[in-house]
Structure 1
């Protein structure tokens, strides 16, 4: 089997041609899967077989350390691609360390900074293989698909545990502790990406159906409005970016718009009931109580230092309640400096996507960026190691220019 000078086996048995672009090693996909495992978290619904939280945390942190070790093994010469996204993410890490050094959020803040540092370092090491192709999209779909398969298995094994009354009968992870918003996010993202791959003829219809149909069923069972709206808006913008160059995109758009209108009229009461989830209008208008937490957070007195740098990395809560807003969570933990950097890397990704010529890779990147921006209003995750930052990392990989050919190693 052919190997590079590092001794790492590649996907093909033939030796790469001199001056060819670097192939993505299989272990890079393993490292990416481990990064996703790390972001699943350790808090959520009760599982069928009780799992100690310490054991789950050991597994998630162990996966991050292993991912970093694998990335370092694959890239011992520390070759990285220039990336404005990762550069700004590194600056956000520096701000996180500054804000956490005061220990207002306890020693746990420094532990979270160490985790964030390993997370960013692993992304830098893997950036060597970011060259605008769809490799990391496929890694993303496979790993999140495996997570959703565990959710489906839990639903089959124990429907009661998978749809507990504690969450209003919404679908959760019964084998691994996952909340309805998490399950909804994963389902929406891989369903949207698979639709785009099908549209771009990068997957066959049967493979697409195997991913899209179960994902949509699981998404509907979670009753997650944020994920549903994010997916629909993301797909609309992504497909719209292909209208001028793709006849299939134009046909899909021409069929989808009238069908969506008819469905909205015919199924209006059903859709309204699904979105309300049995809540009162007051509870719905306050975004399930989120607005009260947001108002309390903004009204809390802060020193100048806390306004600029925040109080340090925490568990994305305020007063014991989840913040559920990326911008306010970043403001609370990393201050205005953090908000500026998060806004900066989102703006950079949007500008680069606008400047790239129409393509399937750009459409996938636009979908992921749009989804993350849409979800940021009612979900936290843009300021710390999370699936949202991995979604944006995939977008950055898709928007990267093709890597320059590597010289032959003699």
Structure 2
């Protein structure tokens, strides 16, 4: 895993083994095609709704590309893992169980035929992760894939900002950064930037990449995060990194130095730039609008007050577009309750609790710190963002965490063939 974090950079040792499609990987690495499959999964979860792009893209075309990428990812994973070697784990098992309430509720067609389509998408998404679980060995290989793919997405955002600053920071979004080449919203961009910043910082502290390569990822990502004015992503980054680095302070001198300097710099910034930071967080909103989470609470109250049958309470109304009454829900738990019911909430909560419990029980390590960061980030973001109950970047973040917490496969020693009795020495024949 040592080496460049950038897409197209010099590959590490883990990227070179089994480069050809279908080639058997060595024990120390994974095929290059795994990175391609991960990139297709990332493309699938980008979504089709967002800001107006410089070149108008029909939503049907975007959906064709995103769904086609998922089918391609599943097909490549199946070709790469024809023997269906998988590594069972609690995360994938619970994610598979989440399909049950999704299918039960969607079969009633309360949300239309689109619900069954989303169930099929979720099934392909989970199936691809099962096929990729063969290469989940507790190492940070998938962390590198994650950083590369989302940095490529952020590169397209930066390119759109350079080509057309007006389209990239429209008045419709209050001057916040959006995707001008691909329809991405400010929360999406902020999420991608925050996640790869945190992972890159942890790789530097774990001496798994050099500072120059990490700076190429961290610095522009910080700029894009600041331009999105995304509070959830910023808080998730800060709190997630604090928890992750805190898990390393007893065993890593670099983590202790980074933690100390970060606290000092944060204190100075809080004192010297208090008014600027407050203005950035408020984004020109009133205190009332800020305290009501930009109007989200009104949607949440209406959703909870809506009458539901027993079946809808248990299994939801079917997979939809994470909205209620035409307005976005913007809360993973309420979105899951609406679409997959109390059963879905129990399964999603079990996913977070199990992953967090496994991470806490592991000894301090870089893999454990990266997993803690991803789990805590998803838990924090779940309060104001939806996505934990359907194919989304959040499930990919948790999949990376699961790969980091997976136990490496132990190779089975070849069996020794039996020696014919006639070739045994006399003393051995007597004992037999």
2:395 equivalent in structure 1 = 389
| Paired residues for 1:192-207 under 5 Å | 192-207=198-213
Name stretches of at least 5 consecutive residues in structure 1 with no aligned partner: none
1:26 equivalent in structure 2 = 32
Deviation at 1:407, TM superposition (A): 6.1
Aligned equivalents of 1:282 and 1:7: distance in 2?
Answer: 56
1:295 equivalent in structure 2 = 301
Secondary structure at the aligned position of 1:220 is classed as: helix
Aligned equivalents of 1:56 and 1:408: distance in 2?
Answer: 50
1:137 equivalent in structure 2 = 143
Whether the 8 Å CA contact 1:22–1:406 is kept in 2: the answer is no
Q: Does 1:146 align with 2:152?
A: yes
Aligned equivalents of 1:308 and 1:379: distance in 2?
Answer: 22
1:357 equivalent in structure 2 = 363
Aligned equivalents of 1:7 and 1:158: distance in 2?
Answer: 39
Aligned equivalents of 2:17 and 2:141: distance in 1?
Answer: 20
2:226 equivalent in structure 1 = 220
Q: Does 1:173 align with 2:187?
A: no
The structure 1 residue matched to 2:107, chosen from 101, 104, 115, is: 101
Aligned equivalents of 1:194 and 1:408: distance in 2?
Answer: 39
Deviation at 1:23, TM superposition (A): 3.1
2:313 equivalent in structure 1 = 307
Deviation at 1:404, TM superposition (A): 1.6
The structure 2 residue matched to 1:85, chosen from 70, 88, 91, is: 91
1:112 equivalent in structure 2 = 118
1:282 equivalent in structure 2 = 288
Whether the 8 Å CA contact 1:131–1:398 is kept in 2: the answer is yes
Whether the 8 Å CA contact 2:23–2:80 is kept in 1: the answer is no
Aligned equivalents of 1:335 and 1:157: distance in 2?
Answer: 44
Q: Does 1:398 align with 2:407?
A: no
Aligned equivalents of 1:175 and 1:3: distance in 2?
Answer: 34
Q: Does 1:163 align with 2:169?
A: yes
Deviation at 1:255, TM superposition (A): 1.6
Deviations 1:118-152 (A, max 9, x none): 00000000000000001100000000000000000
Secondary structure at the aligned position of 1:141 is classed as: helix
Deviations 1:149-168 (A, max 9, x none): 00000000000000000000
CA RMSD of aligned residues (A): 1.6
Deviation at 1:258, TM superposition (A): 2.1
Q: Does 1:263 align with 2:259?
A: no
Aligned equivalents of 1:341 and 1:330: distance in 2?
Answer: 10
How many residue pairs match? The answer is: 400
Aligned equivalents of 2:400 and 2:219: distance in 1?
Answer: 23
TM-score if structure 1 supplies the norm length?
0.95
Aligned equivalents of 2:366 and 2:21: distance in 1?
Answer: 33
Quick check: which has more Rg, 1 or 2? 2
Name stretches of at least 5 consecutive residues in structure 2 with no aligned partner: 1-15, 416-432
Whether the 8 Å CA contact 1:10–1:26 is kept in 2: the answer is no
Aligned equivalents of 2:17 and 2:279: distance in 1?
Answer: 58
- Deviating more after overlay: 400-409 vs 376-385: 400-409
Deviation at 1:8, TM superposition (A): 1.9
- Deviating more after overlay: 230-239 vs 258-267: 258-267
Q: Does 1:378 align with 2:384?
A: yes
Aligned equivalents of 1:304 and 1:180: distance in 2?
Answer: 37
Deviations 1:11-45 (A, max 9, x none): 7xxxx4xxxx3731110110000000000000000
Deviation at 1:9, TM superposition (A): 3.3
1:57 equivalent in structure 2 = 63
TM-score if structure 2 supplies the norm length?
0.90
Aligned equivalents of 1:396 and 1:216: distance in 2?
Answer: 26
Deviation at 1:254, TM superposition (A): 1.6
Q: Does 1:341 align with 2:334?
A: no
Deviation at 1:256, TM superposition (A): 1.4
1:231 equivalent in structure 2 = 237
Whether the 8 Å CA contact 2:109–2:115 is kept in 1: the answer is yes
Aligned equivalents of 2:234 and 2:184: distance in 1?
Answer: 17
2:327 equivalent in structure 1 = 321
